[in-house]
Amino acid sequence: MTIRVAVLGAAGRMGATTCEAIEAAPDLDLVARLDAGDDVAALAGRADVAVDFTVPDATEANVHALLDAGVHAVVGTTGWDDDAIDRVREHAARTPGVGVLIAPNFALSAVLAMRFAAVAAPLFASVEVVEMHHPHKVDAPSGTAIHTARGIAQARADAGVGAMKDATETDPRGARGADYDGVRVHALRLEGLVAHEQIFLTNPGELLTIRTDTFDRSSYMPGVLLAVRQVGSHPGVSVGLDSFVDL
């Protein structure tokens, strides 16, 4: 069965790449390209799934409109916080059968890096995350880094591992990075980069580095297409593409 797909933010770089990938897929039909000012509600009855690559200020409203329209949502726009996700969960509970995936990263290498980090984190005394992007990215740290840090923190908590050592008492300018559930995250913005992340895990005398590098936006497309094909089988709200991948 052909899946009818709409792309929100179709004129942007990620949106345009997504449109190309959908048009090249034999089981998908690109039925709409939407941009700022277009009516998301008009997708009701026209699209089965909508992919959102818009901007942080617009994405939550888009998802609520898609839920009202009965259209499954695959969201790649970052900048989400817990309150926004909770609001979408509450809305999704009132629209049974509609699936929403909020994915901080669609690159399969990044999905695996996040999972590897969570598996390894309880075995190491110290863990920190460094994410690196181009200077045109509007949010920091990246959604991928936040998701990575929270996965690490949850894995350590589940294993009963205590807080990591850090004797820092004075840091008026935030040199130690952002603290996400006890895991430090550092954001670099450098011209020429696309999207990169490193997770450093240490014990006395050893260092494990998990690294993922994205050099082209085409690397996200296998994950986006996987999400489009599967979101209808996952009603409610899912966070992270790993929930769609059998790891």
Residues forming beta bridges with residue 238, ordered by sequence position: 101
- Helices 108-120 and 143-158 cross at an angle (nearest 10°) of 30
Cβ(246)–Cβ(144) under 8 Å?
no
The closest of 4, 16, 91 to 53, measured between CA atoms, is 16
Catalytic residues: 133, 137
Helical H runs in 121-170?
Answer: 143-158
Can you list the alpha helix ranges (DSSP code H) found in the chain?
Answer: 13-24, 56-69, 82-93, 108-120, 143-158, 221-230
Instruction: Determine phi and psi for 74, rounding to 5 degrees.
Output: -115, 115
User: What's the CA gap between 247 and 76, in Å, rounded?
Assistant: 21
